[in-house]
Amino acid sequence: MASPTSLKITNRSAKKPIKKLPTSIDVTDKTTVQDVKVLLAKQAGGMDPERLGLFDAEKKKLLKDRRAIVSQLQDVMAGKEILVKDLGPQITWTTVFIIEYLGPILIHLITPLLLRPYIYSSAPPLTTSQYLSMAMVILHFLKREYETLFVHRFSLATMPAFNIFKNSAHYWVLSGFNIAYWVYAPNSYTTLEGSIINYINAAGLVLFVFGELSNLHTHKTLSNLRSPGGTERGIPKGYGFGLVTCPNYLFELIAWAGITLVTKSASTALFDVVAWWQMNQWAIKKERALRTEFPDKYKKKKYVLLPSPGAVIKYITG
């Protein structure tokens, strides 16, 4: 084992410095980023280690990989310094997702089954389309809760606690209150009946089932790239990944296209557009990250989220 290396410790924020922060720390060839956070938190008076954000002094980049060996981080070792910032109260990603997805589940249960007489001037019995809309939205978010607990493996342990309000607003408001109010109304398009409506609902259900099962499959593929509790990254391959960078997002949009057909509501279409915009931004960043991290191994994708019809046909036919 090599002799320990002393690294300078500096408060990144001069306006909000961390009191009792040591001026230096010794690291060995086995010291991880998480080890440093735990030691600094203890010396700073027993802080929550997850509140500490560590940055290299060269590029001022956050050291996200908590299992990375500090002595192998070139930007840290070049400057022989680590910048430390208090990120504020933290909350686990699992908790965040559970709360985010719980909102739409409760809203789409309570609104049609209990609140309709109090919201609308009249509340006739729910139609087949309304029951189906309710079931599809709830099943979608129940699946997400399942994935949060049993499938996803997060590289970051926590996020700022305050962000939970911003993150939850997207689901509670747009996919919860926004869709529920219009879809379960007595004058909505979901009250229409007839053979054409049945065909539209059937098409929507097929898209929904295909999208949800395909999305689950790609999430499991992504999860298998990382060991339990690990932070390593890999190149995803297999079903859908030869077509676009993020087929999990593509399949989610397909599932929501199915929900949109059944709900027949502009409120669902609004959620689709916002979701597409956000997922497209994430997909662009993911493509860029894969090209940067695996320049020799990663096969560049022309489409990050939505492929052309020709690309889909070529992918299916091989």
Q: Read off the pLDDT of residues 31-80 as tens digits, 9 standing for 90 and up.
A: 999 999 999 999 988 899 999 999 998 888 998 888 889 999 988 998 89
Residue predicted with more confidence, 273 or 57? 273
Domain boundaries in the chain?
A: 5-88, 91-317
At residue 113 the predicted structure's pLDDT band, cuts being 50, 70 and 90, is: very high
Paired residues of 119 in beta bridges: none
Across 125-150, average pLDDT: 98
At residue 229 the predicted structure's pLDDT band, cuts being 50, 70 and 90, is: confident
Across 225-229, average pLDDT: 82
CA triple 75-78-84, angle to 5 deg = 60
At residue 3 the predicted structure's pLDDT band, cuts being 50, 70 and 90, is: confident
Predicted local confidence at residue 1, as pLDDT: 58
Residue 15: how many CB atoms within 10 A of its CB?
5
With pLDDT > 90 as the criterion, what percentage of the chain qualifies? 81
H/E/C letters for each residue in the chain? CCCCEEEEEEECCCCCCCCCCCCEEEECCCCEHHHHHHHHHHHCCCCCHHHEEEEECCCCCECCCCCCEHHHCHHHHHHCEEEEEECCCEEEHHHHHHHHHHHHHHHHHHHHHHHHHHHCCCCCCCCHHHHHHHHHHHHHHHHHHHHHHHCCCCCCCEEECCHHHHHHHHHHHHHHHHHHHHHCCCCCHHHCCCHHHHHHHHHHHHHHHHHHHHHHHHHHHHHCCCCCCCCCCCCCCCCCCCCCCCHHHHHHHHHHHHHHHHHCCHHHHHHHHHHHHHHHHHHHHHHHHHHHHCCCCCCCCCCCCCCCHHHHHHHHHC
Model pTM score: 0.90
147-151, 179-183, 314-318: range with lowest mean pLDDT? 314-318
Predicted local confidence at residue 104, as pLDDT: 98
Return d(Cα 243, Cα 298) in angstroms, integer: 13
Say if residue 245's pLDDT is above 80: yes
At residue 258 the predicted structure's pLDDT band, cuts being 50, 70 and 90, is: very high
Say if residue 156's pLDDT is above 80: no
Say if residue 162's pLDDT is above 90: no
Return d(Cα 56, Cα 296) in angstroms, integer: 26
At residue 233 the predicted structure's pLDDT band, cuts being 50, 70 and 90, is: confident
In the predicted model, what is the mean pLDDT of the chain? 93
Residue 311 C-alpha from the chain's centroid: 26
Say if residue 251's pLDDT is above 90: yes
Q: In this predicted model, what pLDDT tens digit does every residue of 191-215 receive, in sequence order?
A: 999 999 999 999 999 999 999 999 9
Say if residue 230's pLDDT is above 80: no
Phi, psi of 179 (to 5 degrees): -75, -45
164: its two tokens: 């939970």
Radius of gyration of the chain (CA): 24
Name the fold adopted by 91-317: Four Helix Bundle (Hemerythrin (Met), subunit A) (1.20.120)
Asked: is 5-88 a CATH 1.20.210.10 domain? The reply is no
